[in-house]
Amino acid sequence: MAYRKLGRVGAHRKAMLRNLATDIIMYGRIETTETRAKEVRKIVDKLITLGKRGDLHARRQAAAILQDVVDQETGKTAVQKLFDEVAPKFADQNGGYCRMIKTYNRRGDNATMAVVGLF
């Protein structure tokens, strides 16, 4: 599968996409550039598929991708939230969990911005 390089070296790109995916799982939606949104959408869809599987191996695979962040309101980590709250919402849906909506062009560099999230 071909990935966009996003103008970064491999380690920085991987960390950035992991952070974006964790934020989508934790908060439901984020605003980022269109190209980043297209890339993170692939990762979030795979994470939700793992969440729907629900076994221990899937939980460990998701934990390898998601950051270890704790929600202040519920006290759940990103992995717990993925498996307990996010994945059950999409139990009857086969793919296309994460959507991207283009919004505006950023003033500084005219980059196309988008809201990506679980709508």
100 — pLDDT class (breaks 50, 70, 90): very high
Confidence at residue 2, expressed as pLDDT on a 0 to 100 scale: 66
3 — pLDDT class (breaks 50, 70, 90): confident
Residue range 59-68: average pLDDT?
96
Instruction: Report whether pLDDT(16) > 90.
Output: yes
| Residues 23-59: tens digit of each pLDDT | 999 999 999 999 999 999 999 999 999 999 999 999 9
- Give φ, ψ of 40 to 5 degrees: -70, -25
Q: Which residues contact 25 (CB under 8 A, 6 or more apart)?
A: 44, 47, 66, 78, 81, 82, 86
CATH of 10-117, one of 3.10.129.10, 3.90.1030.10, 3.40.1550.10, 3.10.450.50: 3.90.1030.10
Higher pLDDT, 53 or 119: 53
Report percent pLDDT > 90 for the chain.
Answer: 95
Instruction: Report whether pLDDT(1) > 60.
Output: no
Question: 112 - beta bridge partners?
Answer: 105
